[in-house]
Structure 1
Amino acid sequence: MGGDEGKSLDLEGQFGKMIFESILEEGVFRFDCSADDRNAAFPSISFQNPKVRDTPLANVDEIPTYIPTFECSLGQQIVNIEFPLNTSFYGTGEVSRQLERTGKRICTWNTDAWGYGSGTTSLYQSHPWVLAVLPNGEAFGVLADTTRCCELAFVVTSYPVVTFGPFASLTGFLVSLTSILNFLGFCRGTVFMPPMWSLGYHQCRWSYSAATFIC
């Protein structure tokens, strides 16, 4: 965080709808618990240009489709966004088990997973964003702009929440997301389309004994 830890606010017992402002481009909103909370937020390291998160769009009166609510209790900030029934959820980085995260609780605090199994929820990369695929096929994204340990929409200190969409398709959401994020410094820009022959099932040699290797 470059030594800038921001200011600490006493939000204990507060709850309600989060305030919002349009940022970046059409369909993208920043949400905070209050104006004071917005001013005291930690600097962003998620965006390629950190200042864009703190710069509202001028002359934009767009209203978000989904407005999160928050509750601060026992030093924890809980953010809730209600989606329609049969919404599917993806994202959060590398964890074990199925790609779809619906019904799961994911801790975004990765660890060295030298002997992971079905009960190991945190592997080598933690990305605090969620892709929601709505029943009508639209895509909606949520980013918790924090480096702190959190569990889905749960974190120990206040942080901004940024939403994307809804878009007409998954492609629209991914184009919007990749155009403004640098994924915490791991990469910049977009990924090229791989050749068809490289797509398909892949097998990892982890846990195989030397006697079973086939060259």
Structure 2
Amino acid sequence: MVRFHLSTTATATASPLHSHGVELVAPFPLLSLTPHHRHRHHFQLPFPSLSASTSSPRCSRRKRASCSCKMTDSQGKATQPAGRDVRSGDMIFQPILEKGVFRFDCSADDRAAAFPSVSFVNAKDRETPITNAAEAVPTFIPTYQSGSESQTVQLQLPAGTSFYGSGEVSGQLERTGKRVFTWNTDAWGYGPGTTSLYQSHPWVLAVLPNGEAIGVLADTTKRCEIDLSTESVIKFVAPSFYPIISFGPFPSPAAVLSSLSHAIGTVFMPPKWSLGYHQCRWSYDSDLRVREVAKTFREKGIPCDVIWMDIDYMDGFRCFTFDKACMLRII
């Protein structure tokens, strides 16, 4: 998708947020292009994947008993035999970052094996305990079940807890009773039941019955199931090994998000023109049509700062290209 940013002079590339349509009556501006194409980040086969310890693609009947196979279910999740190298119990913890923030791991070895954080602005903050908070104990401690392939974490909260967050997903803002999969994809035509969209955020905001709130982050970039279908329980399932970061309980959801921002950073201040009206559809077939739309907005005095185009502007749907036959006057 490409954004055509409308400016009101022949040299400007950014226009102000208009409160009315008068300023839009001007010659068609220069266009600044920001290419953006939707990518499918993960691909799944419709059948389970199979890996065998033998070098042959098939196991003979004689050797079949010695073949070691790894299967995945229809959702792409790794499955493993029950009771095989499975550990469980309460997670170990240490205070990090600031008061009320804790890191949880299944064991000290798992803590050492976890990948560096890409969630924290400063990855070292996740790895560094707070020395002056050695006596701090979290209000809620997750339990885990972990094997060589998968790690399941559950956090039991008071009855009546409601859940929010879980990233960019469809449906209502309250996520209580839902299951979400952090498996971002090009989800065009999605509906209320779609469990994966364009971004993945393994994060849950829980509002407790007393009005306090706690935030829980599964700090992993791998496919993660967020299961909120059990009463007052947060459940994460993802490949081993990953830590859990909790923020709170704090007096309010706003306090939780403030603490979270100290870990992952804050949203940058958007440019003024980005707050204006954006005209978007799928799609415009030529540069003449784009110019016609822009001209009509100005003639009718309707403020418009941006016109978006979908992938039809491309040459053969190849990123960073333009179809010169129909988009020549925009290049």
TM bin, normalised by shorter chain, reads 0.7 to 0.9
Tell me, in whole angstroms, the C-alpha distance in 2 between the residues paired with 1:78 and 1:106: 15
Tell me what 1:36 maps to: 109
Q: Which residue of 2 aligns with 1:145?
A: 219
In 1, are the aligned partners of 2:217 and 2:245 still within 8 Å (CA)? yes
* 2:207 alignment partner in structure 1: 133
What TM-score, normalized by structure 2, do the two folds share? 0.53
Question: Secondary structure, in 3 states, of the residue corresponding to 2:181?
Answer: coil
Contact 1:129 1:142 in 2 (8 A): yes
Instruction: Give distance in 1, aligned partners of 2:91 and 2:220.
Output: 17
Per-residue Cα deviation, 1:24-52 (whole angstroms, up to 9, x for no partner): 00000000000111111101110000001
1:90 to 158, 164, 175: 164
Q: Is the 8 A contact 1:179 1:190 kept in 2?
A: no
Within 5 A, what are the aligned runs for 1:189-204?
189-190=266-267
Corresponding residue number in structure 1 for 2:241: 158
Decide which structure has the larger Cα Rg and report it: 2
Supply the distance in 2 between the matched residues of 1:181 and 1:74 (Cα, whole angstroms).
29
Superposition CA RMSD, Å: 2.7
State the shift of 1:128 in Å: 0.8
Q: Is the 8 A contact 1:87 1:133 kept in 2?
A: yes
Summarize the Cα distance change of 1:41–1:205 in structure 2 as closer, same or farther, 3 Å threshold: same
The answer to whether the Cα contact below 8 Å between 1:22 and 1:56 also exists between their aligned partners in 2 is yes
Matches within 5 A, 1:58-137: 58-60=131-133, 61-73=135-147, 75-137=149-211
Answer yes or no: is the 8 Å Cα contact 2:146–2:240 preserved in 1. no
Q: CA deviation at 1:75?
A: 2.3
Q: 3-state DSSP class of the match of 2:173?
A: coil
Structure 2: segments with no counterpart, 5+ residues: 1-83, 227-235, 270-274, 283-296, 298-331
Please, which moves more after superposition, 117-126 or 30-39? 117-126
Which segments of 5 or more consecutive residues in structure 1 lack a partner in the other structure? 1-10, 183-188, 193-197, 199-203, 208-214
**Secondary structure in structure 2 of the residue aligned to 1:171:** helix
Asked if 2 retains the 8 angstrom alpha-carbon contact of 1:12 and 1:75, the reply is no
Tell me, what secondary structure is at the counterpart of 2:179? coil
Q: CA deviation at 1:125?
A: 1.0
| Post-superposition offset of 1:12 | 2.9
Q: Does 1:16 align with 2:93?
A: no
Q: Helix, strand or coil for the counterpart of 1:80?
A: strand
Q: Is residue 147–residue 240 contact of structure 2 (8 Å, CA) maintained in 1?
A: no
> How far has the Cα of 1:65 moved from its partner?
0.2
Helix, strand or coil at the partner of 2:205: strand
Determine the structure 2 residue equivalent to 1:174: 257
Q: Is the 8 A contact 1:41 1:158 kept in 2?
A: yes
Report the CA distance between 1:86 and its aligned residue: 1.1
Q: Which amino acid aligns with 1:59?
A: N
Scaled by the length of structure 1, the TM-score of the pair is: 0.80
Which residue is equivalent to 2:80?
A: none
Task: Compute the displacement of 1:59 (Å).
Answer: 3.0
